[in-house]
A and B are shown apart, each in its own frame.
Chain A
Amino acid sequence: MTAPAPLDDLIALARGPVRPLAPAERDRVRDGVLAAARAPGAGRGALPHEPPVAGRRTARTAAIVAAVALAAGLLAYVVPGSTTAPRPPAPHGVPPTPPGPVPRVAGATARPSISTPAPPAPVPRVAGATAAPPPIMPPTAFEQQRIAGNKLIFPDDATKEAIHRAGVTRLMVPMKVCVTRAGDVDVATVLKSSGFPAYDARLVDEVRRWRYTPFVIDGRPTPVCSVVQFVYNQR
């Protein structure tokens, strides 16, 4: 194995100049700031010692929603399996994840991985809604509003055994998750089954307990949806 680099050498590396933002990135960030600052509910100014709170954070969320529109990607929760053995390469160009429970945000390029097998339309909608469907949140904004609930959801022992017997090493389960104005999950639907109904049911059960800070768009609490992808690895 390669000899360890002394910490001071690594610090010297990290002190190097950081590549500046491209002009387009600078403009995008500035425009996002100005849009969020103009949004209703941006509120009074924050003091440096004040952490962001929901009202201010949701102003940014509104800007993100406006900027990203419906280009929602996937939010993936990687649940480590029973061993720490190297994982197989992720499909669809998703980079491998480090060991341990890592919430991983997949880009919009990963979206076809759920839109293809999903039986209904690729964009989640509230069943039976006659008004406009809830906005689709981009994954990072959706995750940032989550305030409670277990995101590391493992199969029960019997299901683990069944997974082992089936020779499966990775389960990927995309779920549609919709949140009410109050921040409760009212829709948690498996878009593509893992093939192990007990695990699907456990995912639905756990996700229904999640809680979010209400999403405020244009100054009003708004129901929203997104897609959350769970990845479970087992060897």
Chain B
Amino acid sequence: MSDPALPHSVPSFNELYEAHVDAVHALLTRLLGPSPDREDVLQQAFLQVHLALPRFRGDASLATFVRRIAVHVAVDHLRGRHRHLVPTDPTAMDELIDPGAAPAARATARRGLLALFTALAELDADKRVAFVLTAIEGLSMREAAALVGASPDAVKQRALAARRQLEARLTERTAP
């Protein structure tokens, strides 16, 4: 007789970690920017995954389960005193730039990404996360809502408000 408490196959933490660490790292990089405390957040996210894994019920994919925890840890981090922590070194943006890019293209990309993450840092955590998940990660409103624990309409409103603020901020920063 099968164990009713284990209706699905749960991998070991090490298997889960190896399978998802790069995706979570990329997600956190986009949510938080290439900030120096990202590794702390990554560790905290996987600690929460480790602790929650025994109670994984299989009602979502493991990838969703891991990403949902990572998003919540990132939101908690952004709601703390760290949301204004912005990398000031343009070379920190190289993590998001194709290593084969020409020097001129690399410099342009660095400036652009620095401007984007600086503007994102001025948003509140909910708007920032909604915007990154939908506009940058490319998730649907429903998928993003499942990760942040809000309704799709709420996520849409937050993402739209974030877009308006970002456009205004970027225009303001480059105005003569």
Q: Which residues of A contact B (CB under 8 A)?
A: 1-5, 7, 9-11, 13-21, 25-26, 28-30, 32-34, 36-37, 42-52, 56-57, 59-60, 63-64, 95-98, 100-105, 107, 140-141, 143-144, 146, 151
Choice from A18, A30, A57 contacting B46 with Cβ under 8 Å: A30
A18 CA / B92 CA spacing, docked (Å):
12
Q: With both chains docked as a complex, state the minimum distance between the C-beta of B71 and any C-beta of chain A, in angstroms.
A: 8
Number of interface residues of B (CB under 8 A): 66
A-B contact count (CB 8 A): 163
Choice from B68, B72, B174 contacting A2 with Cβ under 8 Å: B174
Is A60 touching B96 in the complex (CB atoms < 8 A)?
no
Is A18 touching B72 in the complex (CB atoms < 8 A)?
no
Is A36 touching B29 in the complex (CB atoms < 8 A)?
no
Taking A3-B174, A102-B84 as contacts, is the C-beta distance between A48 and B111 under 8 angstroms? Answer: no
Q: With both chains docked as a complex, state the minimum distance between the C-beta of B3 and any C-beta of chain A, in angstroms.
A: 19
A10 CA / B120 CA spacing, docked (Å):
11
Is B42 touching A29 in the complex (CB atoms < 8 A)?
yes
Taking A29-B42, A42-B51, A56-B47 as contacts, is the C-beta distance between A102 and B85 under 8 angstroms? Answer: yes
A119 CA / B25 CA spacing, docked (Å):
42
Q: Mark B153-167, 1 if CB is under 8 A from A, else 0.
A: 000000000010011
B10 within 8 A of A: no
A107 CA / B37 CA spacing, docked (Å):
11
- The 5 A-B residue pairs whose C-beta atoms are closest, nearest first, are A45-B51, A4-B174, A18-B26, A45-B52, A10-B116
Residues of B within 8 A of A44 (CB): 51
B176 within 8 A of A: yes
